[in-house]
């Protein structure tokens, strides 16, 4: 049994050809999956019944079970998906006006070790397959009424997406493909801790997507403490790779900065940051820390947040403070998986 979403563009067409099926069958199956949200081959009523039986025998459409589903009053829905090996990841649907944004994971756990993040507390367990990355999008799409479409994707869930580029890229190509989810690449964001080699590779191979780089500190001394992988990399190399991605893509970069009370939230940090970012076509996304059980980090007071923001704005930096949507349902990456590891399974 193969995961259909793993072999949609390479594997399935060959499988169909071996059975003497016309080429348009692959397109029919895609339509059933992405536009009509079929959950079984049996539902694909314009396929010959013999073919449906063969598909049923050789492929599974959805590999994962929804182990936990949380909904909050603002329309945010968060899923914990459990794969066939028992490993769990999280993904989220956010409703904001007409936007239907989803946040997906790229790995089970994370190896980067950012000190304030729940996803990396136990290290990385494995990469997700391209099918598992794509399947999260289907589970979330199926949370919406028919007729509603996903508009934005951010790869900002568990894991470091650029450490799993070989599987991420094919999944995002499906997400953006017109005969799959058809989400414009401009509305697909890859968030990275800042791995220069992989950023350069992405710039060379496929610079259509929006890139967000998680900075969290304006200098190496502080960044080495908060983002341990920085010790081998350094801010200069991260920013240089971000610049070359921008040159290739022409898309405004986003930098992310989790604001940790008393740690990286001083006006002096904001000033240093403006020097680092000046001259770049970029947006700075500031995210007040979402506290993680067992970790000592908290969001700064409102007054400190305001001072931080005003320092940046006065220096002409485009800054945006991210709303804290989904707090009530542990929507900060990696938190729900931990709190749900003892909860029971609810439904497929």
Which residue ranges make up the site for ligand SAH (CB under 6 A)?
Answer: 112, 114, 116-117, 156, 160, 191-193, 214, 256, 258, 287, 289-290, 292, 332-333
Which of 50, 48, 61, 44 has its CA nearest to residue 1?
Answer: 61
CB of 237 to ligand SAH, least distance (A): 16
Beta pairing class for 65-71 and 253-259: unpaired
- List all residues 6 or more positions away from 164 whose beta carbon is below 8 Å from its beta carbon: 106, 107, 127, 128
Q: How far is the CB of 223 from ligand SAH (least distance, A)?
A: 12
Q: Would you say 66 or 193 has its CB closer to ligand SAH? A: 193
SS3 per-residue string spanning 226-276: HCHHHHHCCHHHHHHHHHHHHHHHCCCEEEEEEECCCCCCCHHHHHHHHHH
| Residue closer to ligand SAH (CB basis): 8 or 333 | 333
Distance, CA of 133 to CA of 131 (rounded, Å): 5
Q: Give the whole-angstrom CA distance, residue 226 versus residue 168.
A: 26
CB of 89 to ligand SAH, least distance (A): 12
- Report the nearest approach of ligand SAH to the CB of residue 162 (Å): 8
Phi-psi region of 123 (alpha: psi -120 to 50; beta: other; left: phi over 0): left
Write the DSSP assignment of 168-204 as a string of letters.
HHHHHHHHH-TTTT---GGGEEEEES--HHHHHHHHH
Minimum CB separation of residue 233 from ligand SAH in Å reads 13
Q: What are phi and psi of 39, to 5 degrees?
A: -100, -10
Q: How far is the CB of 160 from ligand SAH (least distance, A)?
A: 4
Nearer to ligand SAH, 47 or 112 (CB): 112
Q: With contact defined as beta carbons under 8 Å apart, do 91 and 119 qualify? A: no
- DSSP strands (E only) in the chain: 2-3, 59-60, 65-71, 77-82, 88-96, 99-103, 107-109, 124-127, 152-155, 188-192, 210-214, 253-259, 282-288, 318-321
Residue 174 annotated in active site: no
Structure tokens at 102: 């989803």
Q: How far is the CB of 138 from ligand SAH (least distance, A)?
A: 21
Closer to ligand SAH by Cβ: residue 44 or 326: 326
Alpha-carbon 66 to chain mean position: 18
Residue of 103, 110, 114, 333 with catalytic role: 333
Residue closer to ligand SAH, measured from CB, 203 or 332: 332
User: Annotated catalytic residue: which of 90, 132, 135, 174?
Assistant: 90
Note if 114 is an active site residue: no
63 versus 160: smaller Cβ distance to ligand SAH:
160
Q: Which residue has the tokens 């500190």?
A: 217
State which residue, 45 or 301, has the beta carbon closest to ligand SAH: 301
Give the catalytic positions in this structure: 90, 333
């Amino acid at each position: 049994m193969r995961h259909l979403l793993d072999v949609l563009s390479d594997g399935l067409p060959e499988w169909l050809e071996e059975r003497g099926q016309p080429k348009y069958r692959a397109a029919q199956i895609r339509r059933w999956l992405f536009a009509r949200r079929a959950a079984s081959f049996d539902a694909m009523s314009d396929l010959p019944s013999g073919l449906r039986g063969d598909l049923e025998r050789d492929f599974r459409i959805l590999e994962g079970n929804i182990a936990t589903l949380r909904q909050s009053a603002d329309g945010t829905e968060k899923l914990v998906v459990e794969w066939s090996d028992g490993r769990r990841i999280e993904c989220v649907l956010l409703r904001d006006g007409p936007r239907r944004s989803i946040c997906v994971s790229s790995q089970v756990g994370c190896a980067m070790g950012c000190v304030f993040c729940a996803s990396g507390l136990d290290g990385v367990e494995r990469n997700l397959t391209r099918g598992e990355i794509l399947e999260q999008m289907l589970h979330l799409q199926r949370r919406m009424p028919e007729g509603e479409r996903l508009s934005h994707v951010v790869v900002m869930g568990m894991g470091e997406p650029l450490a799993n580029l070989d599987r991420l890229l094919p999944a995002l190509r499906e997400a953006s493909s017109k005969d799959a989810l058809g989400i414009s690449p401009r509305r697909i964001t890859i968030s990275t801790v800042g791995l220069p080699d992989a950023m350069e590779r992405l710039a060379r191979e496929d610079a259509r997507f929006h890139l967000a780089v998680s900075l969290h500190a304006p200098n190496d001394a502080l960044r080495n403490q908060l983002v341990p992988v920085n010790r081998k990399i350094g801010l200069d190399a991260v920013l240089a790779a971000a610049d070359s991605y921008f040159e290739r893509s022409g898309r405004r970069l986003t930098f992310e900065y989790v604001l940790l009370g008393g740690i990286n939230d001083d006006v002096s940090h904001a000033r240093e940051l403006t020097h680092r970012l000046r001259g770049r076509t970029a947006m700075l996304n500031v995210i007040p820390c979402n506290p993680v059980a067992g970790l000592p980090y908290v969001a700064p007071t409102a007054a400190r947040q305001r001072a931080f923001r005003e320092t940046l704005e006065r220096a002409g930096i485009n800054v945006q403070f991210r709303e804290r949507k989904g707090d009530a349902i542990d929507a900060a990456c990696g938190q729900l998986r931990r709190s749900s590891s003892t909860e029971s399974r609810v439904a497929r």
